[in-house]
Every structure is written in C-alpha cells, then in structure tokens.
Structure 1
Amino acid sequence: MIARLLILLCIALLGTPAGAAVNCSGKFPNPVTDICWSCMLPISIGSVRIGGGAQEDIPNPSNPLCSCGGNPILGLSIGFWEPARQVEVVRKPFCLVSMGGIDLNPGLPAAESARFARPGGSSNSFYQAHFYINTVMAWLQVITDFPCMEKAGFDLAYLTEVDPTWDDDELALILNPEVVLFANPVAVAACAADCAAATLGFGSSSLFWCAGCQGGLYPFSGEVPVHMGGVRTAELITERLTAKMHRELLAWGWHGRAGLCGPYVLPVMDKTAYKTQLIYPIPATEKFGGRCCQPFGRTTALWGAGKEFPVRGEDFTFLLFRKRNCCVGY
C-alpha cells in the first residue's frame, strides 16, 4: 500500500505520463480579476506616448495627423495595445479550457499530449492548442463608439486537432519551407541575442525564426524538442500558433503606418506586435518591473514561477494584446 501511494505521489509531482487519462478542466476568464488592463498602455498620438508608466511600446507613426480613403478625411494617428486574441495550450485533445473545461471531442482521432524522457535527463513534449478571437473590449461594451476597436466578440477560430501538419514536422514544411535555411548552428546561436533583446524589451523582428528565450519558432507544430517547464513550453506554442495563423492569413497586421487605415496581410509574423498575459491556471496579474504582460520571447524565469501545478494546472491560456495603430477621423 505504501509503495502504491509513493508511485501515485510521484506521478502527481512529475505530471501526467503519456497514455494516461487526462481530465478536461478550465475556466472562462474573469475580466475583472484575471486581466491586467494596464497592458493596453501606453496610448500614443503620433510618436508622443501618453501614460503607461513602465508599460512597453514599439515605435509609432511619427506624424500625429493622418488620412484614409479615396476621399481623405483628416484624422489623428492613435496607438494602443488591444486585447484581441487568445491561445490555450492543452493536454487533452478538444478540451476547451477557456470555455470552462468543455470536452468538444467529436470522435475524431487526434494526437494526445505526451512528454518523452531522453538520455541525459532532458525531455521533449507535445501539446494541442486552440486559437480564439477574444475582443474583450467589444463584448464587454466598455467602449461602443471608438472606431479603432475590433468588434468581433468571442469565438473559437482554430483547432490544431483537425490540422494534420500540427503533429507532423515534415508536413509542416508546407507552411514553413524556409525552416531548412535556419537548421544550422549559426542561426540557432542568433536566438541567444533575440532572447537578450526580448528580456530587456522586445525581440528582434529581423530574427523572425527565433522565439527569444523559448528557442526556435519553427516548425509550426506542437512538438517542443526541449521541455523546460509547462509555462515556457506553452509560451513557445502560443508564439508558434500565432505565427502559423499569420502564415495561413488568419491573422493580419494592425500596427505601424501600414495599419493606420485597417489591417493588412502579414504572412511573416512581426513578433514585436504582441504582448502576452497568462490568464489560466493562475492569472499573471502581479507586476514585475511595473508590468504584467510580456513580449514574445521574454524569459519565463522572471514571471512564470509558481504558475503551474499538477493535474488541473498543466493546461495554459494566454491573452494576446495586439499592437494597434489607427487613424481616427474627425
């Protein structure tokens, strides 16, 4: 009996092994207690930033005046970070963590999550992920007449369980054939510089194949070659799935001068246009350095400690704050 109890305790502490049953649990995000609203800051008019304190930002169009359309209407160039998308990383296929733990399984075969130990003590892992449209400001109706807010509500947009490229790195080459150019020591070593840049501010857009301290952004699949904790792995998969959405033209660019008059096609994701906030299982609402949102690629060692626990705390949900520049007409 004592031996069985020790075995069960070890399983609970080490996580759920491959092939074991995984329960589906979750929580719909509470907009009052789970979301760090200061992540929307700073607000900018042209290149002038208003408020925000320690909140980080990327460059904005320098001219405060703008115009759009064939019959130009003079307007103000506004910038802010809009909570607009959401990604959940799950162990059980078709488990909708963000919907309170609904098991949506329609009976289709899908790869289960797994963690494989390798000689030397390292391990790799695999997870499924879901991409949501979550324009929080729209469905809360906090601001009803501001033209720069996307009015799309809440919707499940993508399930990796029905995507054959998500659990097959060779098939994923269809979407990211350029990965063969970066499978070399020089390209991999460059990601160390991207990690340093993301930890101090934002990652480098020119190092588009890197996910900062999380490793390589390619391939666009759910297998992570080096598992170093659930939070870090979930952050990497969140970045990969967002990049995949851009490559499939399901996510567009909304920032910079090109975004003043509306979204534009951006097949290679600009990782500096996103900040993330963990909202499940433990919302990351505590501020580190005056902020609780993290740019893509920032090390999870600064904020991820204590955000994972066995069984019910091994699935993760991230709210994405997307950089938005907009021309607000008079």
Structure 2
Amino acid sequence: MKLSRLEKNSHDRRFGFRSVDLMKTRRYHILLFAAALALCLAGHTAMAAPSGTPMNPVKEVCWNCIFPIKIGGITAIPGDMPDPPDAEFVPCICPAPPPVFFRPGIPISFWEPRRLVETVKDPYYFPALGASFANPSNGFFGGANSRVGSQQHAGVSTFAQAHYYIFPVWAILELLVDYVCVEHSGFDLAYITEIDPLWNNDMLAFMINPEALLFANPVSQLSCIADSVAANSGLPLSALFWCMGSWGSAYPLTGHVNEDAYIQANAAIAARMIYKLSRELLVCDAGINLCACVPTPIWVKHNYRIQMAKPVRDSTCQPIGRSSLIWGSMKNPPFRAGGNVNDNFLWVIFNRRKCCAL
C-alpha cells in the first residue's frame, strides 16, 4: 500500500519526533547512570583508607620538651615544663662487668623522646608511616564516638585502636651515639591493638587489671579531682595511679574512654596504652633508677609527658591528665593537606631519664 507524499511526510515527521524523544530518553538514562556511578565512586573514595606523610623526627618532635637538664640535682638548662625534684646530689655508683664491678658517675636527669603511640579511628592506619594496610575485619575494629546507656542516662564513649613504636630518636638521628645515658636501639613497631582481644573488650581486660574493682566506686573517683587539679597546675599525683586527671579513670586498660571531647579522649587512650604495656611488663621506666630502666606494673605518671605530632604538631608537651581546654584548640582540623588523616593521632612519649653518667 502506497502512501501519498503528504502522508509520507507526516509519517516521517511523526516517527522522527519519536526517534528524537527516544534518543533524549536514552541520553537522560546515561547521564543518570553516570551521576550515580560518580556518587558511588565519591562515597568509595571518602570511605577509603586514609593516607598521609611519614613522620619527620626533626620537625615534628618538640625538642624543647627535653628540658630541664639537671646535673647532680642542680638545673643546668631550665625548661618551661614542671619537673619532679631530684634527690641525687652526690656522686653515684652503678654496677659494671668484671673486673671493674663498679662504675662511679654524676647523676644526670632529662626528658628523652623514647616512644610513639598512635591512636586511630581507622584500623591498620599508621600515621607515623603515613600508610594504611588492608583491614581484614571489614571495619569491625573502627573507632568513633558512640552513645552508651539508656536514653535518660546516656553518655558518650570514644574508642580508638593504638599502636606502640620503639622510637630512639637520638639513635635515629645518629646523635649522642657515644653517650651512655640515651637509648641505643632501632626503630620498631612493637605493638598493635587490632590483634589484641584485651584492648577491645572491657571484660577480658579484667584479667590484667583485677584491682579495677577497688576503684569502681564514687569515693575513689572523687579522689581524682585532686589529681586533675595537680595535673592542670603542674605534675599529676602518681600515688593516685587509678586516675588520669581531667582525662578520667585509668581503668579499664582498653580503648574505650567515657569522654566526648575527642582530642582529650585520644590522649587518654594513648596514656592507657602506656599503662597497659607497663602492666604487661613490656616497657620500663627510665626515670626511677640511675643505673637501669625499671619495669613498673603500677605506672609512675609524673615520669611521662606526651606531645601531639599529628595531625597538628603541638608546640609543647602535656603531663598526663591536663585538660584539653588548655592545649587542644585547633588540633584536629576537618581537612588537612596531604591526605585524609583527621581523627587519627600520633603522640610522642617523653620519658624522664635519670642516669649515672661518667
């Protein structure tokens, strides 16, 4: 059946319009699919493992925190941080290998940057290395702020994973290599909590801190007010070892802290890491004995200082328990050049060292 020229033109125009409409519809679907794919990729990028830059020990360590330096109990170089008094005013004697047996010297004390602690919300991310590794738990061990308790008595708990490094900065920089009073070892990642079930479960942690039952009462916790006042004005009270000043209780020795101030909570988690490893006899305190580093199952808080190195370098150190209202402003910016590293912290641990030097 033949169509007239008029009918043919009308037929072509009608189906031509339909073809144009079909092409527009297909183009709309393609653009819609591309937009959805872009959103998925953007979401995947936002949730991807963070990356950053490795730590620079020259720039990111607060070198002013090694002061004061005391020789024979007398301050040789003062510092801007409080320091416990020294009782050694006379020449000291330490044991030595035979045939000498004894080694005389002069008491010296200073603050040595010996260790690093990372507190991270992203499991298997290492700010000191600026790198992430695959998380086999599929985000199960991730850290964040979360609400706990009933609706009427709700609180905020913060959880973070922690990593512990041996960090003999003098040996790394090849400084004071022949000085007997500094640590001579290598850089090492010594402990990670992602594989430690005691860190992720408060009940399991009871195995290494059963004395926590003695301090789980209002009277013991009220005594922490004195420690908070002492830490904010000078040095913490080491006799109140179950307290961390304004940071809350030192127990349980896990990554859960009942604190909504995120920076302060991570500082408390870093301090708990020190206490936990001390309890497990995996670290020693160089500020107790002139002749050796001594294991301390009950930590001596005033022998430690912490300094934030990442994401923002702090210009000074803080004693255990000092409120972040004093030092925490602008220390965790939402965006940071060099990678998605917010909410992941790196702390330099300064340990007071007392030494009998020749």
Query: What pairs with 1:31-180 in structure 2 (closer than 5 Å)?
Result: 31-69=57-95, 71-103=101-133, 105=135, 111-118=141-148, 119=151, 122-180=155-213
User: Separation in 1 of the partners of 2:155 and 2:329?
Assistant: 20
2:227 is paired with a residue whose SS is helix
Asked if the contact 2:107/2:356 (under 8 Å) is kept, the reply is yes
* Cα distance, 1:265 vs structure 2: 2.0
* Cα distance, 1:106 vs structure 2: 5.9
* Cα distance, 1:107 vs structure 2: 6.3
User: Separation in 2 of the partners of 1:132 and 1:26?
Assistant: 18
Asked if the contact 2:172/2:186 (under 8 Å) is kept, the reply is yes
* Cα distance, 1:227 vs structure 2: 1.9
Q: Which has the higher contact order (CA 8 A, sep 6+)?
A: 1
User: Separation in 2 of the partners of 1:188 and 1:209?
Assistant: 9
Q: 1:170 to 1:135 in 2, by over 3 A?
A: same
Structure 1 gap segments, 5+ residues each: 1-19, 286-291
* Cα distance, 1:328 vs structure 2: 1.1
Q: Which moved more, 1:304-313 or 1:292-301?
A: 304-313
1:165 is paired with a residue whose SS is helix
User: Separation in 2 of the partners of 1:73 and 1:126?
Assistant: 47
User: Separation in 2 of the partners of 1:237 and 1:64?
Assistant: 39
* Cα distance, 1:22 vs structure 2: 5.5
Partner of 1:294: 318
Provide the aligned C-alpha RMSD in A: 1.9
Asked if the contact 2:67/2:111 (under 8 Å) is kept, the reply is yes
* Cα distance, 1:301 vs structure 2: 1.0
* Cα distance, 1:28 vs structure 2: 2.1
Partner of 2:277: 245
1:301 is paired with a residue whose SS is helix
Structure 2 gap segments, 5+ residues each: 1-45, 335-339
Deviations along 1:52-84, one digit per CA (max 9) or x if unpaired, are 242321122322410111622211111000000
Among all aligned residue pairs of Structure 1 and Structure 2, give the percentage whose two residues are the same amino acid: 38
Matched length: 301
Q: 1:306 to 1:146 in 2, by over 3 A?
A: same
Partner of 2:355: 326
Q: Which moved more, 1:121-130 or 1:185-194?
A: 121-130
Indicate yes or no: 2:332 matched with 1:308.
Answer: yes
User: Separation in 2 of the partners of 1:171 and 1:178?
Assistant: 14
Partner of 2:292: 262
2:282 is paired with a residue whose SS is coil
User: Separation in 2 of the partners of 1:26 and 1:220?
Assistant: 29
Larger Rg: 2
Could you say which structure has the higher helix fraction?
A: 2
Deviations along 1:14-42, one digit per CA (max 9) or x if unpaired, are xxxxxx93632233222232211010011
